[in-house]
Amino acid sequence: MHARTVRFRQVDVFTSVPFKGNPLAVIFDADDLSTEEMQAIARWTNLSETTFLLRPTDPEADYRVRIFTTSMELPFAGHPTLGTAHALLESGYTPKQAGRLVQQCGVGLVPIVERDGGAWAFAAPPARIEPLDDARQQRLAAAFAPGVIDFNAPPCAVNNGVPWLVARLKTAADVLSLAPNRDAMTAIAADTGTLGLAVYGPHAGATPATFELRALLYGAETGEDPVTGSANAALACLLTTQGARPGLSYTVRQGTVLGRDGRVFITYDDHTADARTWIGGHTVTVVEGTFRF
């Protein structure tokens, strides 16, 4: 029996320095792989996500991607979007439109555009936002250290293809020291239908970034995600809804507690008809080779 081989890259997303962002496995030439094979590969890579590049079925798209965690398929995720685009471009692909890619995935078509300095940014998908009622807010507060939640920006469940419970803390230091009660948070995540908690807080003087963010997983996946595009997209959309933007652009640091140094760049494009919100960052390739199975 002959082994099957496909091209493979492992990239590090939201960083220009290897090993400081969020790793992603990208499998090329995946049209002949079954869903079961994709899930088995994703389970084996043991990364937060593995993506599979396929020919698009929509004529507007440059490519189609399927995104898998170790246990399930996702309709959208942020760092896989940027990481897959980087791997495709580095492989020699020429976009249909210079400086712009269109990704086809479970939530539809996602534009990705080139920014200064080699960074790329994706357009945040539309988000469904549901504020927590008083009872859930009280349960959330009880799961945290006393007095750290900033209720001037009420916690909300935000779903842009990945459902997050987004809460603002008073300071970045509160975010870094946060250790919520796991049992309480697991119950709250189940009750709100969210993957986990995206918690953020401001840095004094916007140094080293405007906000510190952590993404703590309490659903089918557990643990802490190093740098999270979907959570940052959820936050960016929520800030707009709550009238709490820090300006037309801001930066987020994520992964600090895990020894990473992720940087996410958010830009609000209010001068176009569709007024998109862009979530950007750098990506570097760490491993390149052939996947054999």
Q: Are 93 and 62 in contact (CB under 8 A)?
A: yes
The residue with tokens 């510190």 is 212
Q: Report the 10 Å Cβ neighbour count for 45.
A: 18
- CA dihedral over 88, 89, 94, 96, signed as positive or negative: positive
Element holding 173 (H helix, E strand): helix 172-177
Cα dist from 7 to 24, 175, 242, 288, whole Å: 14, 39, 44, 8
Q: Are 9 and 26 in contact (CB under 8 A)?
A: yes
Phi first, then psi, for residue 71 (nearest 5°) are -130, -10
Check 37, 49, 60, 221 and give the catalytic one: 49
The reply to whether 224 belongs to the active site is no
DSSP per-residue string spanning 32-65: T--HHHHHHHHHHHTSS-EEEEE--SSTT-SEEE
Report how far residue 54's alpha carbon sits from residue 30's, in angstroms, rounded to the nearest whole number. Answer: 6
Provide the CB-side half-sphere exposure for 151 (13 A, CA).
10
Report how far residue 80's alpha carbon sits from residue 128's, in angstroms, rounded to the nearest whole number. Answer: 21
- Report the Cα 19 to chain-centroid distance in Å: 17
Active site residues: 49
